[in-house]
Structure 1
């Protein structure tokens, strides 16, 4: 199978990538720097991470990366990023196109694919407005309610899961000096998450709490010296959170944090109903932390009191964390059990086997 996997970058991750890849002067060098940092690796298929010659990977929205490839291939003038991506697919002689960024490259893009492409799949585990993905052979995701929503729009939708990055095994085998870590977005749209963070941040007087928050632009403005003179109070984080907030972490730095934390706090945002199992759950458990997350319907291997712990309301999160830390030997054993279970259930090998099975079952273009 000649696999082409396309992904995309978070805007807040781009400065880190540019710093890491400052000396990367070729397409391959910059791509290798990105893959080595492991940002988003839970979604990257085994042949990509193994560097298999028949697999091609790119971030189709990375202007620097894509224009490096275009220059190396002698593309004339200033092609669009879409034109570069199409040229890469044709140059690679792709059989199977797997897209992690389908809202940017929806059905209209699929209609332009070269004839070598026989199967198309995409990952989308979030509501996407009026995005049209019906031209894809299948939309993949791990939230059943969102898959049902795609089916109601005329898409074939199939259950598929992130996988544990094998590199995670390098982290979290020593002391865990951080009591609680949280990494994620924060804005006024994260109402339940905000209440949870506020409750847990109050433990910082007695516990080592680390919040690495990707705040919205309005939140950053509201908390600036100028912003405090403007009527932006609703966009400011509560003082108890702002006092301990750090900049967001990505890639191996995130693995290092989770490997140093006893507990990783997670809180879903209201997009998938009662379905749970966002990528942070896989990252936390893969690095051996105790996942403490809001109650709901979790994937296999994420079981309350067996491999993780849940809370049933934002106001109960701090209580769950405090009691876990007070009886840490018991909950440390549960965290270890969780790590073992997710490694077995969601390995890269099993993810790839499931993917190849899906490819075999979907209709050709």
Structure 2
């Protein structure tokens, strides 16, 4: 399974890292990433390298690391138009390129639903980690699991839309204890951590320690606190503060303390990372008592705890006075941490969580697959008994489940042939072969039907250029030659007059019409522009009662309803790549009611749009989202205006609601085009 972990690091740490290691900015992407991992920042949260040992193909991205991310873009020939969102765009490209089965975010606030909705690739499992408060507008409905070591986030995660919550805590990387093992204690008391509005209790304890230290000249105390802004800390604490200590230097600072002090965040319940980081390097930990501390370490034996300021001071004095007892506790704490809470062990628990939820998803899919399999067997029985109409009804039910199944479209084609619908049979066979190109029987029947019903003919249009590209794309489109020629002429016209704006196609199917439009852009456009190609890439959505032929026949009942006209995004992308058009086309996977609004601002002005959504709701959604983006003089072509009554109804309702009138031009019995008036 492919696993991708996306993290964000503190901006101040990244600035300091590259300031002190200036040469690293010139390293390759992989080498920059390795240097950061070796430095140990966030090491307790970095699981990707350890999952490789468990059979995963793991990848790691530090999303806000500008030098490394820009280097990745350079190495992968990725160019960016939107400089303001360049880092976010690079992360999207990385997800699209890696195509992970599992996507794990340690910052599900930055990368919440609003980011996930923009991805073309949708992983099987999306996981987030959180141990700090959520922002008010965070949305987590796309997350299958939220992990946290703080139970207080369980209910909040569900409120924000997460499907599941699992208690989980990170681990300690063994390599860090080896790096700092020769450091010896030099300071009596050490504290390292943040002080923010969520650390009021921590701040009070630090004030007490500061006052205590100031009264004892022989006591050495050092704080390592990153200040949010100048003078954000009380003056007496500032005097003991050495500023932020990042990565390996933080672990060295912990190792240099005879006593490392830990005070949890205000809403914490005793499981913050300092618990493992301090014990992991072999230092003595004095931590604020919480019930959960004992879940990890035995107080008085492997760590020590305090419940009040007085007890904290008392135990500081006691363990400074009796160093052997302090060192024995530190030793036992380290042994416990390295044996039970190493990141390698935690990776095993993480793997178990992943496999549990992947199994749940797989079981759900298997249930649908079994249903399709049962329906397929049932329809085959009807075909064997020459009851093709009944078999056809059952195949339609199976197709609506949108699970590509060997021979299903072949059986549908047989029914079409027996129902005297040879051209529908040809399209069904093409769909079968898009998913199962090795199906010999489907190939034979397609050849036979094509010879009988699609005899060789000269193309109607004498334009040599159009005829040449038509031969390449015709097997991948259901559009008539007339409608394809109209797309060719209109898109070329927009390029030649140099009307600014991107092109959009809503309804891609097997990708033939997108290829035609992209070809025109590549040859004739005088400016940089892209074709945004929208499709579910898993078949048509459910039609509504509005979606009938003009004789009243319902779309679902005649065999072209839910789940039909399908091609995988991998198949279509490969087709475009073979025609050298991938640099022009931006495929967007998902249904129109979700994806169009998400991409509206990114696309900006539109100068040409092809509406091939078939249904009433689809056509209505396209116009409502994108018509306002279309430039004056921009061209629109509608594929199903004369075929499905719902499509025509949506066009005229939009005219009425917006008090406009389209100057409609007929192409053939179903297609139309018009320009947007000024």
**Structures share fold, TM-score greater than 0.5:** yes
TM-superposed CA distance for 1:174, in Å, is: 5.5
2-structure distance, mates of 1:196, 1:46: 36
1:202-229: per-residue Cα shift (whole Å, max 9, x none)?
Answer: 3252222111111121xx1x4xxxxxxx
Of 167, 171, 177, which residue of structure 2 is paired with 1:163?
171
Confirm whether residue 338 of structure 1 aligns to residue 333 of structure 2. Answer: yes
Corresponding residue for 2:213? 203
SS of the residue 1:186 aligns to: coil
CA radius of gyration, larger in: 2
Confirm whether residue 70 of structure 1 aligns to residue 64 of structure 2. Answer: no
Preserved CA contact (<8 Å) 2:40 2:176: no
Q: Once superposed, what is the RMSD of the aligned Cα atoms?
A: 2.3
TM-superposed CA distance for 1:54, in Å, is: 2.3
1:115-134: per-residue Cα shift (whole Å, max 9, x none)?
Answer: 36211111111120321122
- Which runs of no fewer than 5 residues in structure 2 stay unpaired? 363-678
Alpha-carbon distance change, 236 to 77 in structure 1, aligned in 2, over 3 angstroms: closer
TM-superposed CA distance for 1:57, in Å, is: 0.9
1:55-80: per-residue Cα shift (whole Å, max 9, x none)?
Answer: 21111122222222112211123453
Of 274, 284, 288, which residue of structure 2 is paired with 1:280?
274
2-structure distance, mates of 1:109, 1:13: 24
Corresponding residue for 2:192? 183
TM-superposed CA distance for 1:165, in Å, is: 0.9
Q: Which runs of 4+ in 1 moved over 4 A?
A: 48-53
Alpha-carbon distance change, 116 to 194 in structure 1, aligned in 2, over 3 angstroms: closer
Preserved CA contact (<8 Å) 2:227 2:233: no
TM-score, length basis structure 2 = 0.49
- Which runs of no fewer than 5 residues in structure 1 stay unpaired? 223-234
Of 292, 295, 302, which residue of structure 1 is paired with 2:289?
295
TM-superposed CA distance for 1:302, in Å, is: 2.1
Alpha-carbon distance change, 153 to 236 in structure 1, aligned in 2, over 3 angstroms: closer
1-structure distance, mates of 2:59, 2:318: 47
The more displaced of 95-104 and 320-329 is 320-329
Preserved CA contact (<8 Å) 2:192 2:254: no
**Structure (1/2) with the larger helix percentage:** 2
Preserved CA contact (<8 Å) 2:188 2:220: yes
- What does 1:1-365 correspond to in 2, within 5 Å? 1-24=1-24, 25=26, 26-45=28-47, 47=49, 54-79=57-82, 80-115=86-121, 117-130=123-136, 131-155=138-162, 156-170=164-178, 171-172=180-181, 175-187=184-196, 190-201=199-210, 202-203=212-213, 205-217=217-229, 220=230, 222=231, 235-239=232-236, 241-272=237-268, 275-299=269-293, 300-362=295-357, 364=361
Preserved CA contact (<8 Å) 1:172 1:260: no
SS of the residue 1:246 aligns to: coil
Alpha-carbon distance change, 108 to 364 in structure 1, aligned in 2, over 3 angstroms: farther
TM-score, length basis structure 1 = 0.88
1:16-38: per-residue Cα shift (whole Å, max 9, x none)?
Answer: 22124421223222212211101
Structure scoring higher RCO (CA < 8 A, sep ≥ 6) equals 1
2-structure distance, mates of 1:136, 1:301: 28
Preserved CA contact (<8 Å) 1:120 1:138: yes
1-structure distance, mates of 2:350, 2:20: 31
